[in-house]
Amino acid sequence: MSDPGTEVKEFGQNVVDAVEDKVDAVGDAMKDAGADFTERYKDILGKVNQSLDTVDWSQVGRIGKALGVILAVIVAQILIKGLLDTINLLPIVPGLLELLGLIVVGSWSWNNLSTSERRSAFTSKLQHLRQEYLG
């Protein structure tokens, strides 16, 4: 019979050898995958550069300005919505703001629409602005 300690050492050595072989195989696979990624990355960048070369860059300024304005409007709307939602969380402020709005509208209506002379002056002013801006 063989010694149990020797058998355990041989078994342990076999396990270590098997693990080393697997680690080497995984390392080789990772190197191949890294090389494959590098090649694919170069191909993709080449295609992107080729596509960008076909763009008419003289038109991009106008498009960029339009996209910038649209982006600025979206950001402003998000900020305003956040501010209004925060105000609505306060207990008394939304009611006071509604009351203030009613007071402002009532005051403007009284100043501009209370008599027929003021109404006709207001409509003529509106027609003048419409003619000025719309032609």
Range of the domain at 21: 1-54
Q: Is the pLDDT of residue 71 over 60?
A: yes
Q: What is the pLDDT of residue 54?
A: 81
Task: Tell me how many domains the chain contains.
Answer: 1
Q: What is the pLDDT of residue 60?
A: 74
Residue 64 is assigned to a structural domain of this protein: no
Q: Is the pLDDT of residue 121 over 90?
A: yes
Residue 2 is assigned to a structural domain of this protein: yes
Residue 17 is assigned to a structural domain of this protein: yes
Q: How far is CA 76 from the centre of its chain?
A: 13
Of 10-14, 98-102, 117-121, minimum mean pLDDT range: 10-14
Residue 35 is assigned to a structural domain of this protein: yes
Residue 43 is assigned to a structural domain of this protein: yes
d(CA 26, CA 19): 10
Q: Return the CA Rg of the chain.
A: 38
Residue 130 is assigned to a structural domain of this protein: no
Whole-angstrom CA distances from 18 to 11, 12, 28 are 11, 10, 15
Task: Give the pLDDT band of residue 33 (cuts 50, 70, 90).
Answer: low
Residue 14 is assigned to a structural domain of this protein: yes
Residue 27 is assigned to a structural domain of this protein: yes
